[in-house]
Structure 1
Amino acid sequence: MHLTHTNYKEVESDCQNVPATRFNTCFHTIEEIPAQIRAEHLKCPSEEPCSFRRWLPLILEARNLDLNAVQIVKFTPAQAKLIIAASATSIITGEHNRAYEEDINEEIIPHLSSLKFPAEGLFMRLDHGSPKDGRQTVPGRLSLHSPNDIILRLTTSQRAQNEMRKILEEGSPTIDLNFLPFNKRMGSKREYRVYCAPAAGAITAGLSFDVFYDETDESSQLVELNVFDARSGCGSCLFHWINDWEKLYGDGERVEFRVTRQTDGET
């Protein structure tokens, strides 16, 4: 295995680009795919095989959690549309949309009243992503401790809006919100993404998965699974789907591990 330390400043600078141009790329167009294999990537891969609910039992086992630790709230299409409507302003302002406050208090808040909030708070996840880009009621507090926390996180998250719209377009009868006890040690500083390319000529797709490593007891836990494809929404982290094509889609003979970290002299 080859270890590569990527310059933190370069990564930080590229993160300011929307979309990123050097690292953590995704949603590449068919024209960007190498011409000789373009025919194999005409369609974007389905995310269903890597859905959170499908792999939830394994995720719980890795965290030593019982199935009872999971709380699920099912929004109707009408409730999801209300959240999406409120987000039109909230995503811009980062605040609750007062124009929809009464409707949300009547239609959404009671639907969240069955949730039990442990002292450490809750972590929220939709089937194909978390609203981690949403605002926090208390800046810096990622855990959720009330229905209002949940509403603010959802209505200010572009990731959540994109997924709910997609679920509605697919005609699903419910939009499921999965809640787990919050683990404050989990975070990008301790998470690693593993890319597993499909075998050459294989019909089945590859996959990628995120792993949380806790150095206190040297344990590893499965966080989530994602699709493996340059045209998907799966970010390439410290790689670039196209520029590093041979490394990501290679035969696995030469595994590369990339890491970056902020040093004491960097701000």
Structure 2
Amino acid sequence: MQILKIPYSLVAASSSASTNDLTDSSHPESPSHSFNTVRHTLSEILPVVPENPPSFTHCASPTWKPYNYTFWHALIARSQGLQESQHHIIQLPGLLYQDLTRCYSSWLSSSRIRETSMREALETLASTRAGKDLAVLLDGRRKWFIRLDQMSPKDSAMRGALPASTPHQMLQMLCSSNRAYTCLLHEKEDAEAEGRDMSFKLVLNVWRDDMNTSREFRVFVPPPGATSTTSDATMDVAGVAQRLQDFKISFTFDVALQQDGSVQLVELNPFGATSGCGPCLFNWVRDGKMLYGLDEAKFAVTVA
């Protein structure tokens, strides 16, 4: 396996340019999109990775459903050594959606959430069974990592990637996060398409200071197995890959290297150039043959 050492200055420059560039964000030749590209078109990836029907075809719009965090929560919790009292899934009712979107709109327009909007959201939450269950967990003492099924609100402008200890902090994170808002929109669209009442799941895992994102890896698994990894350190992912061997569709999964050398599963995500999941230090088109398992696997790290 070839090891690629990528100067962090290149990654930072690409990230900064991508943030300010309003052109096609998937264009593989653009210097502002050298890494972590998403949502390529079929016309971009087909010349690099041809289809071979019926064995293999690209999906123009991959679904996130098989990768929902709650499907894999028990496996992730076991991998991380969490006790039963240290991880929870709370089903939030759809009636909270309007309150959350009002708070999000308030934050989007003024970079703050109006007190009346937040108070109404807290009152709605407190009136539900889910809110009462959350009040026991979010008691102001314990610290929790929170996320929705598809993404965490780590981009929250008000709290960033901090833990939540109260319902107010939890709502602040959700209502000032573009990622969380996108998740809520997807949940609403799915409910409407399936003709059911909307609800969404909130995950709470006990907060761990030892979960260092600089020691996380993304592994790429096109059928029939893992082909490449990318991160900021070196590790062996064979154990985690073995536990996922019965998963028959392409996917990516993130793992975290611990101080004692053990590896813990973080989450699963979609695989593929047309998906919304970025390949981190790779580029779906430029590195397509390798990522899809047609060339030798590579291990990418970035160094300061």
Both proteins in one fold, TM over 0.5: yes
Deviation at 1:7, TM superposition (A): 1.4
One-letter code of the match for 1:214?
Q
Which one of the candidate residues 111, 115, 120 is aligned to 1:98?
115
2:44 matched to which residue of 1?
32
The reply on whether 1:236 has 2:279 as its aligned counterpart is yes
Determine the structure 1 residue equivalent to 2:211.
Answer: 186
Deviation of residue 109 (structure 1)? 4.9
Percentage identity across paired residues of the two chains? 28
2:62 matched residue in structure 1: 45
Query: Cα RMSD between the aligned structures?
Result: 2.4
Query: Could you tell me whether the CA contact under 8 Å between 1:5 and 1:258 is conserved in 2?
Result: yes
**Letter in structure 1 aligned against 2:280:** C
- The one-letter code of the counterpart of 1:29 is T
Partner residue of 1:160?
180
SS in 1 for 2:219: strand
Give the secondary structure class of the aligned counterpart of 1:145: coil
- Deviation string, structure 1 residues 127-165 (Cα, Å, up to 9, x no partner): 11111111344xx76111211211111011001000111
Describe the shift of the 1:135–1:41 C-alpha distance in structure 2 as closer, same or farther (beyond 3 A): same
Matched, 1:248 2:291: yes
Please state whether the residue corresponding to 1:127 is helix, strand or coil: coil
- Segment of structure 1 superposing worse, 21-30 or 64-73: 64-73
* Partner SS, residue 180 of structure 1: strand
Aligned residues: 255
Q: 2-side partners of 1:11 and 1:50: how far apart? A: 27
Matches within 5 A, 1:114-263: 114-117=136-139, 121-137=143-159, 142-171=162-191, 173-199=198-224, 205-215=249-259, 217-251=260-294, 254-262=296-304
Q: For the Cα contact (< 8 Å) 2:187–2:200, is it kept in 1?
A: yes
- Structure 2 unaligned blocks of 5 or more: 20-24, 26-31, 192-196, 226-247
Unaligned runs of 5+ in 1: 263-267
| CA apart distance, 1:2 | 1.0
Structure 1 window deviating more from structure 2 (243-252 vs 116-125): it is 116-125
TM-score (norm 1): 0.86
Moved more, 54-63 or 13-22: 13-22
**TM-score (norm. length: structure 2):** 0.76
How far is 1:102 from its partner?
Answer: 3.2
Partner residue in 2 for 1:265: none
For residue 142 of structure 1, give the secondary structure of its aligned residue in structure 2.
Answer: coil
Amino acid at match of 2:167: P
